[in-house]
Structure 1
């Protein structure tokens, strides 16, 4: 083999190797939903830094009947970062070193991926950085997880959503495992059966003036959803109906869905005169152009299961909604 042929062969091998690494970088991803790999040495993990990380990122999810963490945290020493941990979907890297930094980098080692880098000269610097950026980190990871789940849902076979479109002039991606169990003039109820329980999605619309942004907002949303339960959502036992659990005050916040201001309400539901209960997440989406508020709610009944990821599936589906132009 002459020198020219050898150099061509070597270049081809290197090109193939780089291409293979690049391909692996964009496809070889691991990790369960809402799980974060924390790359930090044991000394920091077992001290104030670890306590702060757990308090911020493994605090209880609002609106669930039992305590479940916002994220499941798995800790690994820094030396493992160069290995398989770099393929985790969500990574927080904590280092004590001379350079102080905070940055969030997407798809650094794989795709899709969120990698958070935090370093400081002292433990206090690290703690301050976590304290000042915890909300942003949670937001970035949640947005990424929602997008990943929505992409997975798209790859699944979706229901024929024409009835939903006809009633509400929207498009939404819902897997075929959800079946229509009831529909009214401006109401639809979809349900998915799971082991020892089910997940539900309900759609309805109300006049734009029905909910105002004031101190009475949460009470108004509760009253409306209870009236919908009274009309449509009943149990097998006579006179049972869905209501908002009276002993558990729902949580209200604001968000944006498809560019529209939205009230997000999380809490627990129960069947009056029955023992069934579970969590719900309710989105009241302002649609001023059409003088209405579109409400999409997800709720689950799963007494023997963890509910965080079940509710996260419902949230991802709801947030895929798109408002269509009038024909």
Structure 2
């Protein structure tokens, strides 16, 4: 009796014995010799992989990058979730391998005969590398959230959505068509808002960005207030929000990110807002995450909120 096993089956069998990958969110282990790291190649990698994240009040890199000499690329380092190996070789090549030493894992190889070839590969493929890592990191965070979720029954009943929220969050406020979930941390908090508005409220006068800002400021005035008189959350005027078209749950959506502040108060922080056009229900579903943590970095807190919001599914 013949037993036929495909290459894909063999790969899956091999992955079953791999250790779990390690590393913090948005972290890359770069395996490269010290000479290249301290020269043009290192400068190019830092420029491409450590540029500042848009919308944060303090400058933070898109990825935390750690350099390792090829001589010490062994043991725990090989189990990093995201690895980039840069080296000289006979062939000019960019390659991506999944789950080579651990799982889940991305291992990228940039190989060139000369420094010029390596620099060209970095320039050509850095956007691909970034998008792969960001996509897989979002899914990694979402997978972790599945293990301990806050019940979304209330949100399903009111907004007809499923969304994965970690059980570290709690329901902080509930109004008609407005829900506020909050995670308390020692130095601040992380918040998620869910609400909806008619389509016309976002598309009025063809000013999408302006209307999104007006809506979020009006919601802040209604529901998110400080202890001081006339103190409510607004979009900080000193910094123009970053705006882009995107898609969530297969639907047209708008991503807006910037800085919020509490009027007549000293509280402020970053926010990330998604306005999802739900044609069937004649509404924009608004998901917004915002962070208050004045003494610490906020990149990964906003990233967690992004992963939560990107898990949304509108029920039909």
| Both structures adopt the same fold (TM-score exceeding 0.5) | yes
- 1:285 and 2:279 matched: no
- 1:165 and 2:137 matched: no
Q: 1: CA distance between counterparts of 2:34 and 2:171?
A: 51
State the shift of 1:172 in Å: 0.7
Q: 1: CA distance between counterparts of 2:134 and 2:177?
A: 31
State the shift of 1:231 in Å: 1.2
Q: 1:91-110 maps to which residues of 2 (within 5 A)?
A: 91-110=83-102
- 1:64 and 2:56 matched: yes
State the shift of 1:20 in Å: 11
State the shift of 1:82 in Å: 4.6
1:35 to 27, 30, 40: 27
Deviations 1:132-157 (A, max 9, x none): 1211111110111111111111112x
Query: TM-score w.r.t. structure 1 length?
Result: 0.89
When residues 214 and 120 of structure 1 are mapped into structure 2, their CA distance, relative to the original with a 3 A threshold, is farther
Q: Tell me, yes or no, if the aligned pair for 2:251 and 2:277 is still in contact at 8 Å.
A: yes
Q: 2: CA distance between counterparts of 1:151 and 1:299?
A: 22
Query: TM-score w.r.t. structure 2 length?
Result: 0.92
2:222 to 222, 231, 234: 231
1:274 to 244, 250, 265: 265
RMSD (Å) for aligned C-alpha atoms: 1.9
When residues 214 and 112 of structure 1 are mapped into structure 2, their CA distance, relative to the original with a 3 A threshold, is farther
Q: Tell me, yes or no, if the aligned pair for 2:20 and 2:104 is still in contact at 8 Å.
A: no
Q: 2: CA distance between counterparts of 1:48 and 1:217?
A: 42
1:300 to 287, 291, 297: 291
The count of aligned residue pairs is: 305
Q: 1: CA distance between counterparts of 2:33 and 2:178?
A: 53
Show the counterpart of 2:247.
256
Show the counterpart of 1:324.
315
Deviations 1:228-268 (A, max 9, x none): 11111111222200000010111011222111121111100
Q: 2: CA distance between counterparts of 1:234 and 1:315?
A: 23
Show the counterpart of 1:10.
none
Show the counterpart of 1:9.
none
Structure 1 unaligned regions, length at least 5: 1-18
Deviations 1:101-126 (A, max 9, x none): 11222212211011111111111111
Show the counterpart of 1:313.
304
Q: Tell me, yes or no, if the aligned pair for 2:243 and 2:256 is still in contact at 8 Å.
A: yes
Structure 2 unaligned regions, length at least 5: 1-11
Show the counterpart of 2:4.
none
- Partner secondary structure for residue 131 of structure 1: helix
Show the counterpart of 1:55.
47
Q: 2: CA distance between counterparts of 1:215 and 1:56?
A: 35
Q: 2: CA distance between counterparts of 1:123 and 1:292?
A: 53
- Partner secondary structure for residue 290 of structure 1: coil
